[in-house]
Structure 1
Amino acid sequence: MHGVFFDLTIIICLAAILAIIFRMLKQPAILAYILTGIILGPLGLYAIENHESLTSLSEIGITLLLFMLGLELKLGELRSVGKVALITGVGQIVFTSVIGFGLAILLGIEPVAALYLCIALTFSSTIVIVKLLSDKKDLSSLYGKISVGFLLVQDFFAIIALILLSSLSNGGGEMPGLLEIVLILLKAAALFLLTVFLSNIFFPRLVHVLAHSQEVLFLVSLALAFGLSAFASSDFIGFSIEIGGFLAGLALANSIESTQIVARIRSLRDFFIVIFFVLLGMNLVFTDAVAVLPVAILLSLFVLLGNPFIVMVLLGLLGYRKRTSFLAGLTVAQISEFSLIVIFLGNRIGHVPDSVVSTVTLVGIITFTLSTYAIMNGDRLYTLLQVALGVFEKSKPSERTLGNAGEMKNHIIVVGAHRVGRTLINALGNHKDRLVVADFNPDLTSQLDADGYTVVFGDIADPSIQEAARISYASVVLSTMPDFEDNIILTRSVKNQNPKAKVIITAQYEEDVADLYRAGADYVARPYELAGKSLARLLKKDDPSVFDPLRERDLRKYQLQIST
């Protein structure tokens, strides 16, 4: 018998070897981790004995993944997509479950098992999608925010479904009543409102005080993530650790130190989330796989094509452009780890036969694999299909420009109006007549429109938004947005349509700089480096009083009265 350390060593070493091979083959790392689990579990290359301990470690990865998602989303940004996320999430659940149930009946599956199967086909993996969007650096994009929004809606309904199904396995077979369901909704509302209150009043001040010690800040951030996750998943609340981790991140998102917290936690998250994906592969079941393969392929096609179709129709009806609808649709082209839990639960209480368990397992492998490729190559797929996708876009989409660049030429386009972007826009206020601002945050764009700026609302990676901003006629295109993939697309588009235009991009990470230059950027700015150089120039003047007028300017700006 060996300990958890030995089991963990085997997992990490095998996952590292496969990750290197997959990287050489330019394949997503997630697939390497799931394959590690399949090799160790279903294929039986090595017998893992400390499964319970490893499960606990994987839950740490889930908590940190959703904690970082909450840190990077911000409450204001969540509000901007809340309505569409709720409508799309509920609509997709209803249509997928109804169609999935009918399809299961047509395939000869018994009604009770068909009910479990349609539930399993309905929900997509928030954890997988957040990891993929994070790897693509697309979490801050419009479609990324919408996707995360309706996936969280799915998670909420998944919790309710799991509670209902779990009640059947507790011996009595009685479904919980309306009062219990109402209580769940009230708990959810109370927990969310408490998070909103603390994120505005208490946590920003606490974090600011703790920021003087990075070690203490890191430890307290982890304590909040784990504590709220444990509280949310307790018997008293009854939610999942995912919801708790997300709310913990949301609580700290308004603090100015949130970026520093993200930077310190990222590596820790990446380590523990590897264990989650390995265990996901280990839990797959392959009984009678050959016999159920045709049914599994048919159901996989429904998930891969049907779910995105439903989301694209819903977003199209809500007025979103075809690119946003398509990329968001790709994020529901797989089942989730919750799907496996539901099927295993049904099998344990005798409602689901082994053949359906094997079917869902194969559907999971097929959809996890193919949807990963689809999401990571979403922009290429969109380029190939954009003409056909026109049927999903209204003639006058509401994801529209608040104004457009009209007949402007030799203008300056600023992409991104948050923090760095807003500072830049304010500095260029005297050139308002030749400035075009592009952003997909409705609150920011509405404010800028009211201030008299020419504003284009939408995702700049969308060709129609680029046309509205008239990148073909701009003299300078300057992007302050953090999304690496969109910056690459924007740079290439500008250089293809308008080679003479100067393209200036801000890079969030050092490793992105070379790729942006290769894409054609004329200059890649790193905000922290620029800030350091600016301070160095002031210090070189060897006159401490040079900071006095800068200080007075800030005191006037923030209406502060501080005695010296």
Structure 2
Amino acid sequence: MPQDIVFSFFLIFAGALVLATVALYTRQPVLVAYIVLGGIAGPYGMGWIEHPDELIDMAHIGIIFLLFLLGLDMQPSALFSVLRKAMLVALISSLLFFGIGAGITFLLGFSTMDAVIVGLACMFSSTIIGLKLLPTTVLHHKHSGDLMVGLLLIQDMIAILTLILLGVMEGESDTPVWQPFIALPLLAVGCYLIVKFVLLPLIKRFDRYQEYLFIMAIGWCLAVAEGAAMMGLSAEIGAFIAGVTLATSPIAQFMAISLKPLRDFFLVMFFFTLGAGVNLDLLGDVIWGAALLAGAVLILKPVIFRMLLGKMSESSTLAWDVGFRLGQISEFSLLVAFVALESALLSERGSLLIQATAIITFIISSYIVVFNYPNPIAVKDKLRRD
């Protein structure tokens, strides 16, 4: 029987309202409420939504809008400076996280290939958790926000190369490993020219029509995201480039404010589908291993970022702040697990290990940030920063 999309929306957002209310009354992060709702309503819980995979593409749009809005507030000159500073830290930390993830998984009795895939999944930190819990003033106007953006963007590039590598290992990928390095500058230059010679003149002529500007922002974001995907990059990177190239527009801030409610709508769906996708029937087989791996990620990621950023002469306070905000694995890790499982490179137990570790680290790292660092959904008034 086809899934009723209206009923699905009702269940997601009415349920999110109820659980988010409970979360706020009990001083808990609302992100956790959305994940718990997915577990309750999904196919492995009450079964009210039997096919959450049908909602995944829609949920993915939230991540795309998040990166687009981020780009709207970052000038190109600032972006190059950030990437240059973050490159070495991102590369070294990714190698260390790979070794930690692969080593622990191998010691847990998984196969060598499972250990390699889990190690790859552990290299990345969550773009959504990192940026969603960062105050807007820090994200757009502080050095720590710039540093986090640089680290996450470089990790995204590494994630793309990882997905290409998995395709090559399966023997079905036609995308050469070098393609993203050629596609990225071509996409950036193409977007710059389109903005300069097409979009900015249109904005100047029709800036009185707010509905037109709203449609232009959405159309431009999704067009570049789709173009990036066709070129072998990720839709997220495409959306970010779309935002950066449009940041020079005088109405960039209006576009950013207009799209925030739309972004939040899709992000609720993202966290719901994350919770709904966990196979609770098999969770017992990997829960202790996932708890061990998640504990290692939650402890060692902040420590490693603190050490590496400290060597870059960053202050201890900033280094710990960035480390704890990036102290989880990523939504890209879930994509790596999905691709590897479909390619028969990863066992179902290995895939569930990654999923369980992702959710544990998402929840606990959110708690750590919400209760200890400035963020938009803090339960303490002194930490709440929008």
Normalising to structure 2: TM-score of the pair?
0.90
Query: For residue 329 of structure 2, what is the aligned residue in structure 1?
Result: 335
Give the 3-state SS of the residue equivalent to 2:133 in structure 1: helix
Q: For 1:435-466, what per-residue CA distance to the aligned partner results, in whole angstroms no more than 9, with x for missing partners? A: xxxxxxxxxxxxxxxxxxxxxxxxxxxxxxxx
Q: For 1:5-64, what per-residue CA distance to the aligned partner results, in whole angstroms no more than 9, with x for missing partners? A: 121111111111111111222222211111111112254323425645523321322221
- Select the residue among 206, 211, 228 that pairs with 2:207: 211
**1:334 alignment partner AA:** Q
Structure with the bigger RCO (C-alpha within 8 Å, sep 6+) is 2
**1:289 alignment partner AA:** L
* CA–CA distance in structure 2, aligned partners of residues 175 and 231 of structure 1: 18
1:222 and 1:84, CA in 2 relative to 1: closer, same or farther beyond 3 A? same
- 1:358 is displaced (CA, Å) by 2.6
**2:67 alignment partner AA:** L
Give the 3-state SS of the residue equivalent to 1:186 in structure 2: helix
Q: Is the 8 A contact 2:133 2:377 kept in 1?
A: no
1:200 and 1:59, CA in 2 relative to 1: closer, same or farther beyond 3 A? same
The structure richer in strand per residue is 1
Q: Is 1:26 the equivalent of 2:22? A: no
Q: For 1:304-339, what per-residue CA distance to the aligned partner results, in whole angstroms no more than 9, with x for missing partners? A: 111122211111111111111111111221111221
* CA–CA distance in structure 2, aligned partners of residues 270 and 364 of structure 1: 21
- 1:359 is displaced (CA, Å) by 2.1
Query: For residue 39 of structure 2, what is the aligned residue in structure 1?
Result: 38
Give the 3-state SS of the residue equivalent to 2:144 in structure 1: helix
Deviates more, 1:123-132 or 1:322-331: 123-132
* CA–CA distance in structure 2, aligned partners of residues 369 and 92 of structure 1: 22
Query: For residue 181 of structure 2, what is the aligned residue in structure 1?
Result: 185
Q: For 1:58-100, what per-residue CA distance to the aligned partner results, in whole angstroms no more than 9, with x for missing partners? A: 1322221111111122223323322122122112111211232
Alignment RMSD (CA, Å):
2.7
1:10 and 1:138, CA in 2 relative to 1: closer, same or farther beyond 3 A? same
* CA–CA distance in structure 2, aligned partners of residues 74 and 199 of structure 1: 14
Query: For residue 138 of structure 2, what is the aligned residue in structure 1?
Result: 138
1:213 and 1:38, CA in 2 relative to 1: closer, same or farther beyond 3 A? same
Deviates more, 1:186-195 or 1:5-14: 186-195
Q: For 1:275-321, what per-residue CA distance to the aligned partner results, in whole angstroms no more than 9, with x for missing partners? A: 11111111123344334233222211221111122211111111111
- 1:198 is displaced (CA, Å) by 5.0
* CA–CA distance in structure 2, aligned partners of residues 16 and 74 of structure 1: 36
Q: Is the 8 A contact 1:96 1:121 kept in 2?
A: yes
Normalising to structure 1: TM-score of the pair?
0.63
- 1:163 is displaced (CA, Å) by 1.6
Q: Is the 8 A contact 1:316 1:325 kept in 2?
A: yes
* CA–CA distance in structure 1, aligned partners of residues 271 and 70 of structure 2: 18
Query: For residue 363 of structure 2, what is the aligned residue in structure 1?
Result: 369
Q: Is the 8 A contact 2:298 2:365 kept in 1?
A: yes
Q: For 1:215-264, what per-residue CA distance to the aligned partner results, in whole angstroms no more than 9, with x for missing partners? A: 11111111101111111112xx0222211211111121111211111111
* CA–CA distance in structure 1, aligned partners of residues 333 and 8 of structure 2: 26
1:244 and 1:128, CA in 2 relative to 1: closer, same or farther beyond 3 A? same
1:59 and 1:300, CA in 2 relative to 1: closer, same or farther beyond 3 A? closer
Deviates more, 1:199-208 or 1:81-90: 199-208
**2:178 alignment partner AA:** V
Query: For residue 4 of structure 1, what is the aligned residue in structure 2?
Result: 5
* CA–CA distance in structure 1, aligned partners of residues 147 and 372 of structure 2: 16
- 1:361 is displaced (CA, Å) by 2.3
- 1:108 is displaced (CA, Å) by 2.7
For residues 20-169 of structure 1, the aligned pairs below 5 Å read: 20-41=21-42, 43-48=44-49, 51=52, 53-134=54-135, 137-140=137-140, 141-169=142-170
- Select the residue among 245, 254, 259 that pairs with 2:239: 245
For residues 254-403 of structure 1, the aligned pairs below 5 Å read: 254-379=248-373
* CA–CA distance in structure 2, aligned partners of residues 302 and 111 of structure 1: 19
Q: Is the 8 A contact 1:286 1:361 kept in 2?
A: no
1:374 and 1:204, CA in 2 relative to 1: closer, same or farther beyond 3 A? farther
1:195 and 1:313, CA in 2 relative to 1: closer, same or farther beyond 3 A? farther
For residues 347-496 of structure 1, the aligned pairs below 5 Å read: 347-379=341-373
Q: Is the 8 A contact 2:144 2:322 kept in 1?
A: yes
Q: Is the 8 A contact 1:123 1:335 kept in 2?
A: yes
**Unaligned ranges ≥5, structure 1:** 381-482, 493-510, 516-564
* CA–CA distance in structure 1, aligned partners of residues 167 and 37 of structure 2: 30
Query: For residue 402 of structure 1, what is the aligned residue in structure 2?
Result: none
Query: For residue 441 of structure 1, what is the aligned residue in structure 2?
Result: none
1:302 and 1:15, CA in 2 relative to 1: closer, same or farther beyond 3 A? same
The structure richer in helix per residue is 2
Query: For residue 190 of structure 2, what is the aligned residue in structure 1?
Result: 194
Give the 3-state SS of the residue equivalent to 1:154 in structure 2: helix
Q: For 1:485-528, what per-residue CA distance to the aligned partner results, in whole angstroms no more than 9, with x for missing partners? A: 9xx97xx9xxxxxxxxxxxxxxxxxx98xx9xxxxxxxxxxxxx
**1:75 alignment partner AA:** P
1:370 and 1:50, CA in 2 relative to 1: closer, same or farther beyond 3 A? closer
* CA–CA distance in structure 1, aligned partners of residues 48 and 311 of structure 2: 51
Q: Is the 8 A contact 1:7 1:48 kept in 2?
A: yes
Give the 3-state SS of the residue equivalent to 2:208 in structure 1: coil
Count of aligned pairs between the two proteins: 381
**1:351 alignment partner AA:** L
* CA–CA distance in structure 1, aligned partners of residues 287 and 113 of structure 2: 21
Q: Is the 8 A contact 1:42 1:286 kept in 2?
A: no
Q: For 1:333-372, what per-residue CA distance to the aligned partner results, in whole angstroms no more than 9, with x for missing partners? A: 1111221222233333333233222322221121011111
Give the 3-state SS of the residue equivalent to 1:255 in structure 2: coil
Q: For 1:191-226, what per-residue CA distance to the aligned partner results, in whole angstroms no more than 9, with x for missing partners? A: 123344555665444323331111111111111011
1:378 and 1:109, CA in 2 relative to 1: closer, same or farther beyond 3 A? same
Q: Is the 8 A contact 2:126 2:331 kept in 1?
A: yes
* CA–CA distance in structure 2, aligned partners of residues 23 and 207 of structure 1: 41
Q: For 1:103-139, what per-residue CA distance to the aligned partner results, in whole angstroms no more than 9, with x for missing partners? A: 33233322111100101111111123222215x7531
Percent identical pairs in the alignment equals 31
* CA–CA distance in structure 2, aligned partners of residues 116 and 110 of structure 1: 10
Q: Is the 8 A contact 1:164 1:176 kept in 2?
A: no
1:484 and 1:203, CA in 2 relative to 1: closer, same or farther beyond 3 A? farther
